[in-house]
Structure 1
Amino acid sequence: MTDGHENAGYRQLFDTDRLTFGTGFPLTRRSESRPPVDEEMELAAHAESVGFDALWARDVPLYWPRFGDAGQTFDTWPWLSHVAAHTSEIALGTASVVLPLRHPLHVAKSAASVDRLSDGRLVMGVATGDRDPEFPAFDVDAETRGEAFREHVDVLRTVWREDFPELDSQWGSLEGELDLVPKPTTETIPLLPTGHARQSVEWIGEHGDGWFFYHLPMDTLESYLADWRDAGGEKPYAMAVRTELADDSDAGPEPIHLGYRAGSEWFAEYFRELEDLGVDHVLVSTAGDEPERELTRFAEDVIERV
């Protein structure tokens, strides 16, 4: 069991007996060019005001048109610092930092800085990456990303927890003469491996502070949750579901990529079922040309009824 990870963001999402909801940037749904920053910040504050529990930022180091999106285009860390300045209590998440493409000391300092600047609201989804051209661009061997991920997690935990640590890794060595500052608000920032991250469920259960997964069919989800409870005990399970709220509140579900298009009645029942199964947090999407209205609709017609 990982101790000392329950910062304010983690408690916002998981220290509750209810299913919590987050949504992700860009809230304006502009995924190929720079989103309008002022509008994004207004929508972030609005999401917080109507009842969302988290705002999640992507980590997309380089834009690959074939993959289809560039996240919020801005680098994760300055972006979340800006979001922190325009919100008050909502959790700030990374979904997810591609650890093998980044130096762990840079990640450790950037993440601890955001955590401090936001009064402990940072929760980190962490991943191994799935955009193939990024690996040669950073001179990283994609075949070793699973091993690099494990070592990266160990480095992060060590430099957050220890003063003037000693360690030796593929990224470099520390011999007790240097320290990582600032330290985060808690002993370690909570880490949620995303997908399988090229690890076993047992490894994730032992080393993660929760598990972040993608949308799965209900019977598959039940199997994954059973495996997770065996490996992670009571550690939280979070998942991303693409959601498109139909105008007709009674509309049945229409499968879309990694989620559904449906009316609010069906979504409310669906999320109640997820809650009963033991899902702790869902990252949802709101579509449409009027993002403020869609955030409000989802909060009032779905979240408040779950």
Structure 2
Amino acid sequence: MRFGIMASHQYPPGDDLRRHLDDLFGTVELAAELGYDSVWTINHFQSNLATPQPISMLASLIPRSGDMLLGTGILLLPMFHPVHVAEEFATLDHLSGGRVILGVGAGYRENEFAAFGVDPETRFRRFDESLRLIRALWSGAPVTHDGEFYPQVDATIGIPPLTPGGPPIWIGAGGKKAVRRAARLGDAWYAPGNSPSRRFLPEHLAVYNEALAEYGRDPATVARPVGVELYCAPSTEQAVAEALPHARREYSTYAEYPALRWQRDRFDELVRNTLLLGSPEFLVERISALRDLGFDHLIFRPGWLGMPTEKLRASLRLFATEVIPAFRTTT
């Protein structure tokens, strides 16, 4: 089983961004030294948090990430032109030596669609067309594409990717139709593990597996990433005491957006069912359940708004020494 971290580059407006980024870069370097497998960047526009943009962040993390995979978790694809994405990720593929993953989603925040003049009703059609065009451009062959949004005539990109066919594409999706889309268009479904319902992951995994079979793909050959919230301390009581106030603050900030208001109202359910705050023994038990569902790449946010860097790093160290080995020896 693999383990990765979100480079959670979201900060209170007005904070010293340079200091935050220096802390983040040090944390990523530590994660590489500790043997973590991947690091992921975040994408939002006109956010209520100061959020550096993900492509620039990925480029800055390449020399700091050892041999870790690097990806976007996730890129809001309808806000980008697919030619731009194809060119940028072909470049990142070369700069990283083939370590990049393009993680994409369709978006949900109304203000972001408005900022780019994108009708939210078109986002899934844009999403589908963009992925088809990106893959075609990554082939290296001239592309003529009679699309609804992004027509191209005899088009090629300036640099073909280092990875034949281009970097893997992971699709973040929460609805069942979107999960089927991930099976049809992506190399993996990047599953959100923060639903308050314990039924969400098993039910949506079943949809995903059925769709893979329908589209002629072997379910045993696809990556199985899941994103969670996680904090490790010597005891579960200590983990909850140290992490919960910061997690609550961050989720309250997200809940300012209409689509996420439920997170404020159901935060206690999130804590009980999905926030992995606990001792190494507690985390081994909870992660074992995810592994038993079939997930093979756990990606987690290691800290939340206002959490001291030294506590975040102590959690990463303890997790690396006391939890990860339990899964390295059994897979």
Give TM class, smaller chain: 0.7 to 0.9
Residues 110-164 of structure 1, C-alpha deviations (whole Å, 9 max, x = no match): 1111111001111121101121111111111011111111111111111111322
Which residue in 2 is equivalent to 1:52?
36
Which residue in 2 is equivalent to 1:167?
145
Count of residue pairs brought into register by the alignment: 280
Cα distance in 1 between the residues matched to 2:176 and 2:130: 13
Greater RCO (Cα-Cα under 8 Å, separation 6 or more): 1
Cα gap change, 1:244/1:252 in structure 2, threshold over 3 Å: closer, same or farther? closer
Residue 204 in structure 1 maps to residue 182 in structure 2: yes
Instruction: Show the 5 A alignment for 1:56-135.
Output: 56-63=40-47, 65=48, 69-70=49-50, 73-135=51-113
Equivalent position amino acid for 1:256 in 2? V
Which of 135, 156, 159 pairs up with 1:179?
156
Secondary structure class of the residue paired with 2:74? strand
Which residue in 2 is equivalent to 1:15?
none
Cα distance in 2 between the residues matched to 1:30 and 1:300: 29
Cα gap change, 1:31/1:277 in structure 2, threshold over 3 Å: closer, same or farther? farther
Structure 1: 5+ residue runs without aligned partners? 1-18
Cα gap change, 1:50/1:31 in structure 2, threshold over 3 Å: closer, same or farther? farther
Contact 2:83 / 2:134 at 8 angstroms: preserved in 1? yes
**TM-score normalised per structure 2:** 0.77
- Segment drifting more, 158-167 vs 115-124: 158-167
Which residue in 1 is equivalent to 2:224?
237
Which residue in 2 is equivalent to 1:282?
298
Structure 2: 5+ residue runs without aligned partners? 213-218, 241-267
Secondary structure class of the residue paired with 2:146? strand
Equivalent position amino acid for 1:46 in 2? L
Cα distance in 2 between the residues matched to 1:269 and 1:121: 30
Contact 2:28 / 2:39 at 8 angstroms: preserved in 1? yes
Residue 262 in structure 1 maps to residue 278 in structure 2: yes
Q: Report deviation, 1:31.
A: 5.5
Cα distance in 2 between the residues matched to 1:124 and 1:96: 8
Which of 293, 304, 317 pairs up with 1:296?
317
Contact 2:179 / 2:189 at 8 angstroms: preserved in 1? no
Secondary structure class of the residue paired with 1:256? helix
Residues 226-247 of structure 1, C-alpha deviations (whole Å, 9 max, x = no match): 2222222232221111112244
Cα gap change, 1:296/1:228 in structure 2, threshold over 3 Å: closer, same or farther? same
Residues 235-284 of structure 1, C-alpha deviations (whole Å, 9 max, x = no match): 22211111122441588988529523222211111112211220121111
Cα distance in 1 between the residues matched to 2:114 and 2:207: 35
Computed over aligned residues only, the root mean square deviation of the Cα atoms, in angstroms, reads 2.4
Contact 2:232 / 2:239 at 8 angstroms: preserved in 1? no
Instruction: Show the 5 A alignment for 1:32-47.
Output: 32=13, 33=15, 34=17, 36=19, 37-47=21-31
Secondary structure class of the residue paired with 1:43? helix
Identical counterparts, % of pairs: 25
Which of 195, 204, 207 pairs up with 1:224?
204
Which residue in 1 is equivalent to 2:216?
none
Contact 1:22 / 1:54 at 8 angstroms: preserved in 2? yes
Secondary structure class of the residue paired with 2:72? strand
Residues 159-205 of structure 1, C-alpha deviations (whole Å, 9 max, x = no match): 111322211224443221x4202111221221111014784433321
Which residue in 2 is equivalent to 1:23?
5
Cα gap change, 1:136/1:198 in structure 2, threshold over 3 Å: closer, same or farther? farther
Secondary structure class of the residue paired with 2:206? helix
Equivalent position amino acid for 1:184 in 2? P
